[in-house]
Structure 1
């Protein structure tokens, strides 16, 4: 674990929530900050910031199969979702529908509710089963919820609570361009093979601080060429009227400068990509294969310990997976079940236990990255069965 700063006394099985950043990337981030603070005026106003940002943009675009002209940086995928929805509000009419699934990340579902309310539109929800047998159940659930008033589908590429790799490619093919598809790919890049251009969605936003392992506060939004006009950051700033001298056109001008902030997390994404790539002899393809194998192994261990059937097929699992637990006897309204605190405080295991979909039902979600080992999940299973027996 020497490449990471993770506490060796704690079993870290929650990469999916916040990621983890290699120590060398944090060193590069601090070097950027030191350079910036030596002369902030020079850094921001004399071209250095924009040049470094454009270099980073090209690196990220290559990694995710995007054209740099359509890729901009945001602090997290939630900001990307908000920016798209805010930009689309003027196109919505009373009674129009924004469609989400009941697996949608809570923050982004909230954004859909707020944007819909501003426009007099409504949010409709497709009920996707979990456990489920195959990806067709997702496709059928979403398509059956589409109506003639559906204007936008907001869908996760990989769901947060349930850890499902969603069939977004098939849904995009079935719905675009009549329904604009906004893909919240927070977990996808660096976990699964993911090419935003080939996907064909109108909008794709994703975090770089999760499976790409950048510093916290780095994400991107990609917009398809025919959707770029009228696209704005949720924070309106100088670029709205051309006041920021970006050479990348309208889209870059909207996002490259939204006020003074610390851009070091963005500017070291390429360092993170290189650092993780170097951790496996087969580079990024090897990384993705290794962490998926670890996750499937861990899921198998938990399934055996709980005496349950796999809640989803293996082809819908990347490097995070959830298993349903027996209903909670002390169910409340909190997002996180008390079992999560018990595993942390009594066993030194960091792993999320979500109340999902509603109390008393709950799921436990594991993550895998290169700092994990298969034995980690054996330790989790032992601790879990002990807590469930009490």
Structure 2
């Protein structure tokens, strides 16, 4: 583990952390700023949680928009990706003639939310099986064509899928749903701070995600971007629900802790330092090293090279179960995401960050080799 783990983070000594992509990790700098802000808010909550808060959140939203390279007028910060998704799904006008298409590699709660919404409206819900390992865009589009006849109202995809860690060809998917007369909704939970977030290039009507996975901010803090003609309201009807201003509309979901959102600019500033110094490029190289090492001991990639994100990789482990892998890694104090894919296959996902080094990769690889050779 690199010295950055001691300087920048509060990770316990002896722990090998490859599960950054599940919850992110708040840096010491941001945690300190968060404590300062909490003391400030508590000094006069009547003022600091009133109209002043909306102005401060608008400034943070502008900082996030600038960092992501997207129009902050069309985006807002929110509690997390789940709350943003709930707002989108609750706002779309579904009816018995509607068709919603969701890929089976999507995050389980997002799939379930669309399924529930369709059931309430009597709409058609289509879950499309994605070929994994994903070898080509053509194979993905062929799966859609083969499983989805006729018009489509909404297609839900991820910029980077969660458990399978596939960097989806989002622009091609946007073009596909446009040809079917529908709108593209993008889950970009693994976008900010990891890959470019490109709503207009993707052809998206709505993009939601989180900041706390790849920026070192406090958790939770999410974002929502919308096209100008797409009217989305928070799932909870709060005091600002009717506001014409997008930031204000999502600024008060009832009493909540605004500190994670107010720390966004501090987290982005530190992330930019890591980027400028080349640390994030080093993380990408380490992910490539892990790719080869794990493949050498029998792990299979979930996607061809072109669909692998820079710092998040997933592997199929044949002949073993998720509990077996979890037991081995847990005993070795190695943290990585392990679970089942859509077809029941055992998946191992790892994220490389600035606190990881090749020794960490060796520790993980040795344990995976151990469990695969049983």
TM-score, length-normalised on structure 1?
A: 0.89
Quick check: 1:353 aligned with 2:338?
yes
Return the alpha-carbon distance in structure 2 between the equivalents of residues 73 and 237 of structure 1. 16
Return the alpha-carbon distance in structure 2 between the equivalents of residues 116 and 65 of structure 1. 34
State how 1:342-381 maps to structure 2 within 5 Å.
Answer: 342-344=328-330, 346-359=331-344, 361-381=345-365
Conservation of the 8 A alpha-carbon contact between 2:300 and 2:316 = no
Q: Which residue in the other structure is 2:308 paired with?
A: 317
Deviation at 1:66, TM superposition (A): 2.0
Q: Which residue in the other structure is 1:273 paired with?
A: 268
Return the alpha-carbon distance in structure 2 between the equivalents of residues 48 and 143 of structure 1. 50
Q: Which residue in the other structure is 1:72 paired with?
A: 76
Deviation at 1:320, TM superposition (A): 1.0
Unaligned runs of 5+ in 1: 243-248
Return the alpha-carbon distance in structure 2 between the equivalents of residues 226 and 149 of structure 1. 21
Conservation of the 8 A alpha-carbon contact between 1:95 and 1:149 = no
Q: Which residue in the other structure is 2:139 paired with?
A: 137
Conservation of the 8 A alpha-carbon contact between 1:292 and 1:317 = no
Return the alpha-carbon distance in structure 1 between the equivalents of residues 339 and 87 of structure 2. 27
SS at match of 2:240: helix
State how 1:213-228 maps to structure 2 within 5 Å.
Answer: 213-227=216-230
Deviation at 1:209, TM superposition (A): 0.4
TM-score, length-normalised on structure 2?
A: 0.93
For CA contacts below 8 A with separation 6 or more, give which structure has more relative contact order.
2
Between 1:314-323 and 1:138-147, the stretch displaced more is 138-147
Return the alpha-carbon distance in structure 1 between the equivalents of residues 8 and 241 of structure 2. 41
Between 1:4-13 and 1:138-147, the stretch displaced more is 138-147
Pick from 305, 325, 350 the counterpart of residue 339 of structure 1.
325
Return the alpha-carbon distance in structure 1 between the equivalents of residues 67 and 199 of structure 2. 10
Deviation at 1:186, TM superposition (A): 0.4
Q: Which residue in the other structure is 2:168 paired with?
A: 166
Return the alpha-carbon distance in structure 1 between the equivalents of residues 113 and 122 of structure 2. 14
Conservation of the 8 A alpha-carbon contact between 1:291 and 1:370 = yes
Deviation at 1:95, TM superposition (A): 4.1
Pick from 85, 89, 102 the counterpart of residue 85 of structure 1.
89
In structure 2, do the counterparts of structure 1 residues 262 and 339 end up closer, same or farther at CA, with 3 Å as the change threshold? Answer: same
In structure 2, do the counterparts of structure 1 residues 287 and 275 end up closer, same or farther at CA, with 3 Å as the change threshold? Answer: same
Conservation of the 8 A alpha-carbon contact between 1:13 and 1:368 = yes
Quick check: 1:44 aligned with 2:71?
no
Q: Which residue in the other structure is 1:18 paired with?
A: 23
1:311-354 per-position Cα deviation (integer Å, ceiling 9, x unaligned): 422221111111111233xx5xxxx534213311x211001211
Return the alpha-carbon distance in structure 2 between the equivalents of residues 188 and 75 of structure 1. 16
Return the alpha-carbon distance in structure 2 between the equivalents of residues 241 and 191 of structure 1. 33
Q: Which residue in the other structure is 2:34 paired with?
A: 29
State how 1:82-161 maps to structure 2 within 5 Å.
Answer: 82-88=86-92, 91-161=93-163
Return the alpha-carbon distance in structure 1 between the equivalents of residues 314 and 100 of structure 2. 27
1:295-316 per-position Cα deviation (integer Å, ceiling 9, x unaligned): 121111100011x564422221
Count of residues in correspondence between the two structures? 367
Conservation of the 8 A alpha-carbon contact between 1:94 and 1:120 = yes
Return the alpha-carbon distance in structure 2 between the equivalents of residues 188 and 9 of structure 1. 29
SS at match of 1:260: coil
Deviation at 1:287, TM superposition (A): 4.9
Pick from 29, 34, 59 the counterpart of residue 55 of structure 1.
59
Unaligned runs of 5+ in 2: none
